[in-house]
Structure 1
């Protein structure tokens, strides 16, 4: 019998650090990209479930820009009797159940005398008398930005007794006015006529909605 030659086993493959590092990097990149795509998909689905992206009608920050007032406003033309047609609920009128009027009179010193009247739920007439003053707006002479107070004269020095009264819209004939506060919590539609045409009233409220007011809570008060 001849001698058998024993073959040596094949040498083991050498470990390649660079190849392994490249493979790990590729896997990590794929993981990160996959995670990002997953988060994007979840975000898109969540937005779809919640409805459209918030816009002006939803009270998005776009509509929280500072309100602009009418300028110039001739206070002597604005003076006189106004009939309230609609309002956002407010504390000072919570007991008013009937027609509401506001009468303005320009005094000799340039301030405005305010007389508000409304019919209470028990049929009695309620009246509040106050004073309005013009707030100067840089670059807008005669701007329709006023402050009103119904507190006694001796408290006039307190800023807290003055409330904002901003004329946001006014027709050229001074027959219909939209008045509000800069925080959008108060809103009034006023007209010279005791009853305002429905289409005109809705036009005023539609405009107020574009300014960010919660028109859905408005109470119609014109009789």
Structure 2
């Protein structure tokens, strides 16, 4: 499960942003085999670290009981060189597998992320404080129907969908 924004943007998570009502903790169990591979950023709440980021991806590789995560985006446009962030991720709630702690810069920074909802081809990832949220897909783009369903779910979770940014999709 490549969760584009988390590692990429921990610095943004640690900076101030307008708070929203904190989402409910994840309750649905996630199959860990679905956590590996490439995920593409479809939408996000604005944050300073991802300003002008396009074509965001997050690559997750399972290494024992943790994950090696490489997140990337192109600042300014898809033809710009990729900027990468590396992290280690660990599931911290084995009951649901939906709460993940990511460590950056050799463990100097860490942040908890929650998989708030997931379907066969998309997931919604957020921080427990509700300030940050990303819609991720296993394909560079979602069908119009899947995207509409996912955005409806984002709204149901209490996020202001009028604030969502929709970066250009990554190229395969």
Q: TM-score, normalised by structure 2?
A: 0.77
Correspondence 1:103 to 2:59: yes
Matches within 5 A, 1:39-50: none
Shift of 1:65: 6.5
CA gap of 1:66–1:220, structure 2 versus 1, over 3 A, is closer
Please point out which of 83, 101, 121 is paired with 2:76.
Answer: 121
Following TM superposition, the consecutive aligned residue runs of length 4 or more in structure 1 with deviations greater than 3 angstroms are 63-66
Shift of 1:64: 4.0
Give the aligned partner of residue 152 of structure 2: 206
Report if the CA contact (8 A) 2:39-2:59 is conserved: yes
Please point out which of 110, 127, 131 is paired with 2:88.
Answer: 131
Correspondence 1:219 to 2:156: no
Report if the CA contact (8 A) 1:86-1:222 is conserved: no
Q: TM-score, normalised by structure 1?
A: 0.61
Residue by residue over 1:36-59, the C-alpha shift from the partner in whole angstroms, topping out at 9 and shown as x without a partner, is xxxxxxxxxxxxxxxxxxxxxxxx
Matches within 5 A, 1:179-198: 179-198=125-144
Which structure is higher in strand share?
2
Q: Secondary structure at the match of 2:61?
A: strand
Larger RCO: 1 or 2 (CA < 8 Å, sep 6+):
2
Matches within 5 A, 1:33-182: 64=21, 66-96=23-53, 98-108=54-64, 110-121=65-76, 123-136=80-93, 141-153=95-107, 155=108, 161-171=109-119, 173=120, 175-182=121-128
Q: Using the alignment, how far apart are the partners of 1:70 and 1:187 within structure 2?
A: 17
Which ranges in structure 1 are unaligned for 5 or more consecutive residues? 1-62, 156-160
What is the aligned residue count? 148
Name the larger-Rg structure.
1
RMSD in angstroms over aligned alpha carbons? 2.0
